[in-house]
Structure 1
Amino acid sequence: MKLALKIDVDTYRGTREGVPRLVEILKKHQAGATFLFSLGTDHTGRAIKRVFRPGFMKKVSRTSVLEHYGLKTLMYGTLLPGPNIGKRCAQIMQTVRDDGFEVGIHCYDHIRWQDYVSKKDAAWTAREMKLACDRFVKIFGEPAKVHGAAGWQMNVHALRLEQRLEFDYCSDTRGTHPFIPMWNAEIVACPQLPTTLPTLDELIGVGDITPGNVAQHLLGLTGTPPPSGHVYTLHAELEGMKLANVFDELLTGWKAQGYELVSLKDYFASLKGDELPRHEVVMGEIPGRSGVLAFQSDEFLA
């Protein structure tokens, strides 16, 4: 049974400090993974506008944003100019690829995509995607084959672009199993490999869940493997830094449960003989996270 590790890299600090630490942990466990990079300017400080979003302040207070991201990162794009991640960290990204890990696109500007894409038009979406795709080619010398949207935020134009740009598969949604996405009954011929498990920042601080017991809580959710396995999303800023020990514990536990820890590429390869079901992509809320996200609908569409 396969469990795919999808690593979202949101910030300059996460790329410089979190990514190398994650590579070290993954090598220790001989685990595969997919690193999805933010490739443009780090404007994390502009997330302050989310203070008016229902549930945002509660999430911030639970997950110690200052502790995990650092004061400097939280000023990028406001009091401090944001560093260009793709330009400054190209060598780190190339090293990840050279170490045998799959690499792909998370976004160009994380805050811009996460906060605005759901209501933007085709032209805006195409510009953002082109910036990310062009920078990826400059860094890696070839087009990206996988995309995973920042904050699980999407629109129909982005889904269509993923098909047009010939991504092999994408992981932009939350759900229960791989599927062919549809938007208002329009089929998009680019498979979705949705995140199937809650993330650490959605769990820590809820009820009696702490950094000390969150790994055991997650392992309790994976004790009985589903037919199509799991996709777990982690963050370079969390599991690659303050919560690195939690990630190490998770990998140990998942291997003990019999999972093969793989990249999205290897996970998808195991599905190629299967005819994936069609599901609508809908927007909805999830416990522990503010705002709405792109979801795999529960209803199977023949």
Structure 2
Amino acid sequence: MPKLILKIDVDTLRGTREGVPNLVRMLQKHQANATFLFSLGPDHTGWALRRAFRPGFFQKVSRTSVLEHYGLKTLMYGVLLPAPDIGKLCATELRAVRDAGFECGIHTWDHVVWQDNVRNQDAAWTQSLMQRSFDRFKDIFGEAPATHGAAGWQMNPHAFAQLDTFGIRYASDERAALADDGTLLNANAGPHRLSVQGRTLDCIQMPTTLPTLDELLGRTINAHVITTSTIAARILELTKATRDHVYTLHAELEGQKLAPIFDELLTGWRAQGYDLVGMNDYHRALESQTLPVSPTAWGTLPGRSGDLLLQAA
């Protein structure tokens, strides 16, 4: 049975408090599994406004209504309001996800700081932020994490090496390259081990193979504008020819205003014959396999501003 791996990025305090419980209920309704990846330190979402100078940023903002999905208060964190510490304020909510039977892992310490800076940082800076998130995770859950998913699909060689140092067994830090219509450019994209600076790492990478909602909404694909009414059908078209896929969703989107779209996707994927699983389930299926070794590369994806890490062809 093909697997649809559900990876949930939780970026903000609001997403943790409001989006996550909604997603837990929806997944339970559909008897689906998923992996929740948490931001565990300060919420500096307001600092993301500095991205206004990046190519494509305003196009994305106008298409996806950032204010509507994230809320004015969240966009003021770190600007006009102090940045709340998500891990300190929401430890009970995070443990509730684990207690509901879902895998929990690390997304980042500070989402904006990591996404906007890690690419060019040295080992000391990288290890310091990763250690904070690792220690906070252990404080909250009483055990070390098994998995990781990089904020904004941004990493550097020191960060990849640190995953092995921590004993992280599997991660989803990269994307598969996509064509303008969301189809895979490399049919062989999927689980692999990374070759970084001449060393093959132990941590298995599970790249996201489907576009995210914010990358599709408002774009014109095949002469049709993708709207909230048609986006689920577009994604289901991409998964019609069954193969294992990793889908990244966000607590701030699918867990809130765009929840009906996710509900439609879950129903559609079941009808297509997919097993809806978390990263831990997928890892169990991969452990006995000999996986290819691949380098990583920087590139762009349709509908997303800035560079991010792609699985090299």
Q: 1:1-48 CA distances to partner (integer Å, 9 max, x unpaired)? A: 111100000000000000000000000000000000000010000001
Q: Which runs of 5+ in 1 are unaligned?
A: none
Distance (whole Å) between structure 1 residues aligned to residue 16 and residue 190 of structure 2: 29
Determine which of 262, 267, 278 is the counterpart of 1:252. Answer: 267
Paired residue for 1:87?
Answer: 88
Q: How far apart in 1 are the matches of 2:196 and 2:167?
A: 18
Q: Does the 8 Å contact 1:185/1:280 carry over to 2?
A: no
Aligned to 2:180: none
1:262-301 paired onto structure 2 within 5 Å: 262-298=277-313
Distance apart, 1:186 and its partner CA = 2.7
Following superposition, the deviation at residue 273 of structure 1 comes to: 2.0
Alignment of 1:157-172 (within 5 A): 157-172=158-173
Once residues 9 and 126 of structure 2 are traced to their aligned partners in structure 1, the CA distance between those partners, rounded to angstroms, is 20
Within-5 A mapping of 1:43-54: 43-54=44-55
**Counterpart-to-counterpart distance in 2, 1:272 and 1:84:** 36
Runs of 4+ in 1 over 2 A off after TM superposition: 183-186
Q: Of residues 171, 191, 194 in structure 2, which corresponds to 1:178?
A: 191
- Residues 51-200 of structure 1: pairs in structure 2 closer than 5 A: 51-175=52-176, 176-200=189-213
- CA deviation vs aligned residue, 1:262-295 (integer Å, no higher than 9, x gap): 0000011111221000111111101100111111
1:184 deviates by 4.1
Structure 1 position 183, deviation (Å): 2.4
**For each residue in 1:137-178, what CA deviation from the matched residue of structure 2 results, as whole angstroms up to 9, or x when unmatched?**
110001111000000000000000001110010110012200
Q: Within the alignment, does 1:219 sit opposite 2:236 as a pair? A: yes
Once the two structures are superposed, what CA deviation does each residue of 1:102-153 show, in whole Å capped at 9, x if it has no partner? Answer: 0000000000000000000000000000010010011000111100000000
Contact 1:38 1:109 in 2 (8 A): yes
For residue 295 of structure 1, what is the amino acid of its counterpart?
A: L
> Is the Cα–Cα contact under 8 Å of residues 157 and 197 in structure 2 kept in the other structure?
no
CA distance in structure 2 between the aligned counterparts of 1:32 and 1:108, rounded to whole angstroms:
24
Which one of the candidate residues 242, 245, 252 is aligned to 1:237? 252
Moved more, 132-141 or 268-277: 268-277
Q: What SS is found at the alignment partner of 2:115?
A: helix
The answer as to whether partners of 1:42 and 1:84 remain within 8 angstroms in 2 is yes
Identity of aligned residues (%): 59
Q: Deviations over 1:196-251 (max 9, x none)?
A: 1000000001011011110000000000112xx01000000000000000000000
Contact 1:104-1:144 within 8 A present in 2 as well: yes
Please report the TM-score for the alignment, with normalisation by the length of structure 1: 0.97
Residues 78-119 of structure 1: CA deviation (Å, up to 9, x unaligned): 110011100011111000000000000000000000000000
Shift of 1:185: 3.4
Contact map agreement 2:138 2:145 (CA 8 A) in 1:
yes
- Secondary structure, counterpart of 2:195 in structure 1: strand
Stretch moving more, 183-192 or 31-40: 183-192
Give TM-score scaled by structure 2 length: 0.94
Q: In structure 1, how many angstroms separate the alpha carbons of the residues matched to 2:83 and 2:166? A: 28
Aligned length: 296
Q: Is the 8 A contact 1:54 1:291 kept in 2?
A: yes
Q: 8 Å contact 1:181–1:280 — kept in the other structure?
A: yes
Please give the secondary structure, in 2, of the residue aligned with 1:154: coil
Counterpart secondary structure, 1:27: helix
Aligned-pair RMSD on alpha carbons?
0.7
What is the DSSP-based 3-state SS (H/G/I as helix, E as strand, rest coil) of the residue aligned with 2:300? strand
